[in-house]
Amino acid sequence: MENEEQYMRQAIGLAQQAVANGDHPFGALLVRRGVVVLTAVNSVHTDHDITRHAELNLVSQAARQFSPQFLAECTLVTSTEPCAMCAGAIYWSGISHIIFGCSAAALGAIAGGDFLIPCAEIFARGSRPVTVLGPMLEEVGTAVHQQYWPHLR
């Protein structure tokens, strides 16, 4: 896929938008054949639902709008490596490529937390391949988290 860094910067911009909305700093977009077809932000606080991660919001919307064949040709670009819940949703949707910015390990070092499993480990357990690229522009991606999480401690 061309313009990977441009898409990553857009995903990080969506993470900043999530913060402006009062939510956690995560953003994601879905790209097919060089066209952004969907975007989503984290809405955990605004929706009062802990499952409303940016990737899950995106996958839920995509699964309702597009066929499995369409999704198989898509790349999900996300500001931060998908958690186990989101990785499962991505896998079951049929999306075949993932690009992430901030790694789960870097997020854990900034925000704390546990259950930080690299998404490639989760995808490796499936019967169909999912290509994972990342971290990409990790310094830019972690900056959003460094600004957000310290003020909550």
Alpha-carbon span 16 to 14, nearest angstrom:
5
Alpha-carbon span 85 to 68, nearest angstrom:
19
Count the residues in the chain.
Answer: 153
Name the catalytic one among 55, 73, 121, 138. Answer: 55
Alpha-carbon span 150 to 37, nearest angstrom:
33
Q: Is 55 annotated as catalytic?
A: yes
Alpha-carbon span 127 to 150, nearest angstrom:
39
Residues annotated catalytic, as ranges: 55
